[in-house]
Amino acid sequence: MRKIVFFNIQIFDKRNHDRYGLQKFYKKKWKIEYWELTKLQKKNFKRYYNFKCNYVKVRKFENFFSLLRYILGLKESFFFVDQTKSFKYGILSRLLTLKKCKRVVVKDRWSGLNLYGYASFAYECYRFFESIYFRPLNIIKVPKIFFLRVIDFISSYLIYPKSSLSSNFGETRNKKFNFTNHNYDYNIFLKFNKKNKSKKNNNHIVFIDQGFPMPVDRELKYQHSQMNKKMCMDETDYWDKINSFLNDLKKKYKKKVIIAANPRSKLNKKLIKFEIIYGKTADLINRSFLVITHGSLAIQFAILWNKPIMCITMKNLPASAFIDAQYHSKKLDLSVVDLNDYLIKDVNFKKVNKIAYEKFKTNYIYEKKLKDESSWDVIIRKLDLYIREKKFETE
């Protein structure tokens, strides 16, 4: 039986189950494991997800050395999907390949993400210098950022092993197994469209919650940084501004407002004046009149369904939120509203720029020639080809 391991700092939940196409692997008779490395990233991180799947073996490692011991004791080889990036994870990936396991890199395809190694360095520079524009004191971070970039370079090119198969990355040993593919969430879009024959009622305004003022991804990514050990802003102040703005939109457009909750956030319902719905972000966007966001990845559903989008910013949000809002407004021709300084009579969303939307779709969301096919079907097909050509047995 074929075996694949997902090697990730994120917790195993329904979102990751769906995004990683695990059901497709199961139907193709692959043995599946998910190695949860969250505690390696942040020792005191609380696991509060209860999602279970009977065909996925979840291994929860409590620290670096427990995983190291497990890898050293392995007696079988397999493919592993590696989405880590740091010195210690590079060591673990290298050890796995010494155990004859095959590294698979599947990068998300999205504007602003480091999709193709250091080819996007220019955009990284753009993000940094624009962040200085919004936060001049960020200039003092230059030495630290330079040092971290050097470490990234060393770990990426010297420590991490070359992958056997790579999607949206481009660093395989064999070009045949290096290819571009869809964004993860495009698979959810395909699945949704297959099950739902258009429910575009345009009957509400949806705000895409990103877990601010302390998103889970931010908490995990920056656990070693002193400036990020606390929330990026006061939770009450954040939701006061969001509530006020959404209420103004509700009155102006005479539409119901719904909060599409981040599946990994624990929203304080006492602070929020609107209906909160978990686990139905795609459906809510599909039936929306207008989508409000700081710059969430979920706006791709709005782009795919040609929905109007309005970006919002406010004082004390991370520089990345300002940058994402400005960047996407330029790429997609969107309105941006600063919640610290606006008059509702002057707030208007722009009509969908279909040319900009279509260009964005093909550049950052899906691979045109594979438009009707799940990215995981493509990856499984490539893995089967690799097995046939390399005669790599996983039993």
Least trusted range by pLDDT, from 4-13, 130-139, 285-294, 373-382: 130-139
Q: What is the CATH number of the domain that holds 344?
A: 3.40.50
Q: Is residue 147 a part of any domain in this protein?
A: yes
Q: Is residue 395 a part of any domain in this protein?
A: no
Least trusted range by pLDDT, from 135-139, 294-298, 318-322, 357-361: 135-139
Per-residue pLDDT reduced to its tens digit, 70-125: 999 999 999 999 888 778 888 899 999 999 999 999 888 876 554 333 334 544 56
pTM for the model stands at: 0.80
Least trusted range by pLDDT, from 143-157, 283-297, 300-314: 143-157
CA distances from 156 to 109, 152, 161, 229, 390 (A): 19, 6, 8, 27, 25
Pairwise pLDDT comparison (137 vs 377), residue with the higher score: 377
Q: Match 């620290």 to its residue by tokens.
A: 63
Furthest CA-CA distance within the chain: 67
**Ramachandran category for residue 201: left, alpha or beta (phi over 0 → left; psi -120 to 50 → alpha):** alpha
* Residues 246 and 128 grouped into a single domain: no
pLDDT on residue 160: 86
Q: Is residue 55 a part of any domain in this protein?
A: yes
- Domain containing 242: what range? 187-365
pLDDT on residue 111: 66
Between CA 257 and CA 5 the distance in angstroms is 40
Q: How confident is the model at residue 254 (pLDDT cuts 50, 70, 90)?
A: very high
| Total structural domains within the chain | 2
Q: What is the mean pLDDT of residues 123-142?
A: 60
* Residues 291 and 332 grouped into a single domain: yes
CA distances from 136 to 31, 91, 126, 130, 315 (A): 51, 36, 15, 10, 14
Does position 244 have pLDDT exceeding 80, yes or no? yes
Pairwise pLDDT comparison (141 vs 16), residue with the higher score: 16
Q: What is the mean pLDDT of residues 313-336?
A: 85
Q: Is residue 65 a part of any domain in this protein?
A: yes
Nearest to 311 by CA among 284, 287, 330: 330
Does position 274 have pLDDT exceeding 60, yes or no? yes
Nearest to 83 by CA among 163, 1, 23: 163
Per-residue pLDDT reduced to its tens digit, 193-242: 888 765 567 789 999 998 887 654 444 444 433 334 455 678 889 999 99
Q: Is residue 293 a part of any domain in this protein?
A: yes
In DSSP terms, 312 is beta-bridged to 337
Q: How confident is the model at residue 365 (pLDDT cuts 50, 70, 90)?
A: very high
* Residues 86 and 175 grouped into a single domain: yes
Q: What is the dihedral of CA 245, 246, 247, 251, to 10 degrees?
A: 100
* Residues 343 and 377 grouped into a single domain: no
Q: Report percent pLDDT > 90 for the chain.
A: 45
Q: How confident is the model at residue 138 (pLDDT cuts 50, 70, 90)?
A: low
Q: Is residue 290 a part of any domain in this protein?
A: yes
Does position 394 have pLDDT exceeding 90, yes or no? no
Residue 121 host element (H or E): helix 121-134
Between CA 295 and CA 210 the distance in angstroms is 9
Residues 109, 364 contacting (CB under 8 angstroms): yes
* Residues 301 and 357 grouped into a single domain: yes
* Residues 111 and 225 grouped into a single domain: no
Residues 30, 56 contacting (CB under 8 angstroms): no
* Residues 174 and 315 grouped into a single domain: no
- Looking at every residue in the chain, the average pLDDT score rounds to 82
Tell me the torsion sign for CA atoms 282, 377, 93, 90.
negative
In the DSSP assignment, the letter for residue 315 is: T
pLDDT on residue 141: 66
What's the angle, vertex CA 382, arms to CA 381 and CA 385, rounded to 5? 90
Q: Is residue 302 a part of any domain in this protein?
A: yes
Q: What is the dihedral of CA 86, 266, 199, 290, to 10 degrees?
A: -80
Least trusted range by pLDDT, from 33-47, 48-62, 104-118, 295-309: 104-118
Between CA 325 and CA 291 the distance in angstroms is 13
Least trusted range by pLDDT, from 267-271, 290-294, 336-340: 267-271
* Residues 171 and 191 grouped into a single domain: no
* Residues 57 and 146 grouped into a single domain: yes
For 304-339, b/e burial (b = at least 16 CB within 10 A) is bbebbbbbbbbeebbbbbbbbbbbbbebbebeebeb
* Residues 26 and 168 grouped into a single domain: yes
Does position 185 have pLDDT exceeding 60, yes or no? yes
Q: Is residue 116 a part of any domain in this protein?
A: yes
Could you tell me which residues come within 8 angstroms of residue 14 by beta carbon, excluding any fewer than 6 positions away? 51, 263, 279
pLDDT on residue 238: 92
Q: Report percent pLDDT > 70 for the chain.
A: 79
pLDDT on residue 228: 42
pLDDT on residue 168: 84
Nearest to 326 by CA among 293, 288, 372, 367: 293
* Residues 35 and 152 grouped into a single domain: yes
- DSSP assignments along 171-206, one per residue: -BSSGGGEE----HHHHHHHHHHHH--------EEE
Neighbours of 269 (CB within 10 A): 9
User: Among 6-20, 146-160, 316-330, which range has the highest average pLDDT?
Assistant: 6-20
* Total number of residues shown for the chain: 395
* Residues 24 and 172 grouped into a single domain: yes
Between CA 321 and CA 293 the distance in angstroms is 10
pLDDT on residue 41: 79
CA distances from 285 to 49, 264, 294, 320, 346 (A): 25, 18, 15, 23, 24
